Amino acid sequence: MIPALLPSTPPTSPVIPLGPWVEAFIEFLTETLGWFFGGLRAAFGGLYDVVDLALAAPPFWAVIAVVTLLGLYLRGWLFAAGSALGLVLIVLLGQWGNAMDTLALVLVASAIAIIVSVPLGILAARSGTASAVIKPILDFMQTMPAFVYLIPALILFRVGVVPGIVATIIFAMAPGVRMTELGIRGVDKEVVEAAHAFGSSPARILRQIQLPLAMPTILAGINQVIMLSLSMVVIAGMVGAGGLGGQVVASLNRIDVALGFEAGLSVVILAIILDRLTAALGRPRTKLFRRTPAPDAAADAPARAAEPVAA
């Protein structure tokens, strides 16, 4: 009988030493490419310090004012007022400094993720082969539990904010690539063909037609990248990135419900503001400018209300 030939229970330790292989590979990387990772560490760390300084150095009310104005420009007064209230709440909770550290980390990680993912998305949109290679890698990066690449990131970049940034970039990059590819592939084929028919070069077509027409989709991807980055904050806190994530990790260690809630609520406020602001980027300049024709609509309303109501 065939079943008799097989062991009655599956092995509980690996038969194929896949894990050790990866370990050996990481070791090999640290030894031979140490200079490279050192350089990356310095660059990412430096970038973070600059952004963090820009956010933390000015008085908190100045930062709040800037965010409020941005909200007013992109979405309207209601959102602006809400943002201001939320940020004041963070200040009152005593989490302002941590929130700015977190914001700096999210902005730096998102920016790098976008700078890497948009060109990758363009490449995937233009070549079927590139797309076929990139897709499974993205799936792998996004579904592998984030803690797992925290470990090699720690080894390669040592404790601090940089392994947090790197893990965040890897985890958050996928939607940037996917949505860029989707957006460009979704541009009307005939329009692109027409541009070719008039003798346009591929670079001109990308710049003048494909990117502008794909922009709403690409911006939706960028919004997702930022949201995913924010969701990595706590995990980044575990490797010493500090900020709100560090507070949550500390409250976990101390079983401090109050601190956990305060830090968690601050993350939520940041998330909502960032989400709504970046979502508004894809739409034409809003409310503030749409206000102008609005009186017409408002004028209609009483007229309509005055009409006899049909039984």
Partner 1 sequence: MSDNPYPAVPTAPAVRAAALYKAFGRKPLDTVARLRAGAERGSLPAEQTAAVIDATFEVKRGEIFVVMGLSGSGKSTLIRMLNGLLAPTSGTVEVAGTTITGLAPKQLRAVRRQSVSMVFQHFALLPHRTVIDNVAYGLEVQGVPLEERRARANTIIGIVGLAGWEDKLPAQLSGGMQQRVGLARALAADTDILLMDEAFSALDPLIRREMQEQLVELQAELGKTIIFITHDLNEAMFLGDRIAVMRDGRIVQIGTPEEILTDPANDYVAQFVQDVDRARVLTASSVMEPARAIVSLSAGPRAALRTMRDLQTSAAYVLGNGRTLLGVVRDRDVIRQVKNRETDLSLVVRHDLSAVDADTNLSDLVEASVESDLPLAVVDSRTRLLGVIPRVTLLAALGNVSSHTGEVPVMIDPPATIPVDVVTETLLATGGPTEPADAALEGSLR
Asked if residue 113 lies in contact with residue 173, where contact means CB atoms within 8 angstroms, the answer is yes
Both tokens assigned to 121: 């998305």
In whole angstroms, the minimum distance from the beta carbon of 292 to partner 1 comes to: 19
Which range of residues in 12-20, 47-55, 108-116, 206-214 is near partner 1 by CB under 8 A? 206-214
CB of 211 to partner 1, least distance (A): 11
215 or 279, CB closer to partner 1?
Answer: 215
Name the residue nearer to partner 1 (CB basis): 200 or 286: 200
* H, E, C per residue of 268-311: HHHHHHHHHHHHHHCCCCCHHHHCCCHHHHHHHHHHHHHCCCCC
Which residues ranging from 124 to 163 are in contact with partner 1 (CB under 8 A)? none
| CB of 195 vs partner 1, minimal distance in Å | 8
Applying CB under 8 A, among 199, 293, 295, 308 the residue interacting with partner 1 is 199
Q: Are 91 and 269 in contact (CB under 8 A)?
A: no
Q: Which is nearer to partner 1, 20 or 202 (CB)?
A: 202
Question: Within 157-196, which residues bind partner 1 (CB under 8 A)?
Answer: 188, 190-191, 193-196
- What is the per-residue DSSP string for 64-129? HHHHHHHHHHHT-HHHHHHHHHHHHHHHHTT-HHHHHHHHHHHHHHHHHHHHHHHHHHHHHHH-HH
Judged by beta carbon, residue 65 or residue 215, the one nearer partner 1 is 215
User: Which residues, numbered 210-269, are part of the site for partner 1 (CB under 8 A)?
Assistant: 212-213
Tally of CB atoms within 10 A around 164: 31
CA neighbours closer than 13 Å in the CB half-sphere of residue 4: 1
* Residue ranges in contact with partner 1 by CB under 8 A: 188, 190-191, 193-201, 204, 209, 212-213
